[in-house]
Amino acid sequence: MRVHARSTALAASLVLALTAGPLVVPAVATSAPAEARSSTAPAPTGPDADALRAAVTGLPDADATAALVRVGGTDGVWRGSAGVHDLASGRAADPDARFRAGSTTKVVTAAAVLQLAAQHRIDLGTPVQHYLPGLFTRAFRPITVRQLLNHTSGIQAGDGWGDSFEAQYAHRFDTLTPEQVVRSAVAQGPEFRPGTKQDYLNINYTVLGLLIEKVTGQTYASVAERLVLRPAGMRDTYFPGTDPRIRGPHNHGYQKVTKADGTTEFVDVTEWNQADRFAAGDMISTTTDLERLLTALFRGRIVPPGPQLEEMFTVPAGIEGATYSAGLQRFAYEGRVYWVKSGSRYGYSAVVAGTRDLSRTLVYCVGATDAKGEDTNPVAQRIALAALK
């Protein structure tokens, strides 16, 4: 059984938002347990406050239980939240809540690797086999650190607990270590020759996490905190490891499940051991902290300006369909280029996006009820369309 960590519904919703036609604001409910709350800072070319309010009005609904949104940049600012903290109480969602940030963790991992490269402790052009001898079999050609960063390594996805929600939910308190995931991936052999294709998979960043630990002699979490979280001022972000809880204030996450009799049930998925996500998707954060990360990173306050920072804005040349750089993904929309990273775990879907000059940034967490599904989440799509128009 293989679990591909490709772009999921959240990423798909952003793709649609960035390639769609003119914005059409859908009909929304006129009342909800928690009304949308927002504040605006007027700007001639700023975010469309009315469209953003409409995008999050009516929660909770069948698609999402809550939405936390921050639009920023030199164009103007909008902040909003809607929905509920939990379905049982119905009280208003906490706009400052922590949530599972999923693959936005990769931005932190890439920044840590690039900092170590700037310190000459890692060479991006050197094969990872040099740093982690014995990890890969002879079936694998040399894979450079850069090829791990931009998903051109050719390593196949490692094993997980199952392909269905039910199979994974049954193991939500069990531990699958990063080392086990990597061993299962290596056992399958390479998918393609390194540098010839781009295939977005968690396994690349799982190996990068092990690389960070080997080079520094410290845990991934401690290095990420020292090199990225502290410099960015991310005070409410942490890596839970095997702890299934979300510490501190948080809104509950739910998965929509269709029962045998055809009725719908919303299963609370807030508590979940995410150890196997590791450096690819283990992080717990807030919208404020993710906005701080994006701003500090793009201003060169984390990875120093120069060749290392340029890696985050460089898509590999000569590979058809390539869009991923080191930690980010390139999207062009309405005459602007956005650098984006999405992330989703059951119950939570998040996005960080921004123009390189920080004229427009977007961070959101949607309490998606099918965060790992194949279809576009309507709430996430509405937010992206409204924020980036």
Tokens of 94: 């906490």
For the range 138-145, what are the long-range contacts, defined as Cβ-Cβ under 8 Å and sequence gap of 24 or more?
139/189, 139/190, 140/186, 140/189, 140/190, 141/190, 141/193, 141/194, 142/194, 143/194, 144/194, 144/195, 145/113, 145/117, 145/208, 145/211
pLDDT of the residue at 282? 97
**DSSP letter, residue 60:** S
Flag whether pLDDT at 31 surpasses 60.
Answer: no
Residues ≥6 apart with Cβ < 8 Å to 381 = 13, 16, 17
Of the candidates 371, 352, 381, which has an alpha carbon nearest to the alpha carbon of residue 70? 352
Give residue 353's pLDDT: 98
**Structural domains of the chain sorted by starting position, each given as residue range(s) with its CATH number in brackets:** 9-21+40-388 (3.40.710.10)
d(CA 102, CA 283): 6
Q: Is pLDDT above 80 for 41?
A: no
Residue 26: how many CB atoms within 10 A of its CB?
Answer: 11
Contacts of 46 (CB under 8 A, 6+ apart): 40, 75, 76, 77, 78
Give the whole-angstrom CA distance, residue 83 versus residue 65: 6
Question: What per-residue confidence (pLDDT) applies to 173?
Answer: 98
Residue corresponding to tokens 């905190």 = 225
Two tokens at 337? Answer: 């280029």
How high is the pLDDT of residue 45?
72
Q: Biggest alpha carbon distance in the chain?
A: 62
Among the ranges given (235-239, 371-375, 381-385), the one the predictor scored with the smallest mean pLDDT: 371-375
CA 48, CA 343: separation in Å to the nearest integer?
24
Cross-strand pairs, 332: 337
- Asked if the model's pLDDT at residue 14 lies above 90, the reply is no
Q: What is the pLDDT of residue 8?
A: 40
**73-107 pLDDT per residue, tens:** 999 999 999 999 999 999 999 999 999 999 999 99
- Give the torsion through C-alpha atoms of 201, 346, 255, 19, to 10 deg: -50
Q: Identify the residue with better confidence: 339 or 21.
A: 339
**Residues whose CB is less than 8 angstroms from the CB of residue 111 and which lie 6 or more positions away in sequence, other chains included:** 227, 228, 297, 302, 303, 312, 327
- Burial of 205: CB neighbours in 10 Å, binned 0-12, 13-18, 19+: buried
The Cβ of residue 257 has, within 10 Å, a number of other Cβ atoms equal to 16
Q: Cα(61)–Cα(312) distance, rounded to whole angstroms? A: 36
Contact 115, 225 (CB under 8 A): no
pLDDT higher than 70, residue 10? no
- Reported as a single tens digit per residue, the pLDDT across 281-319 is 999 999 999 999 999 999 999 999 999 999 999 999 999
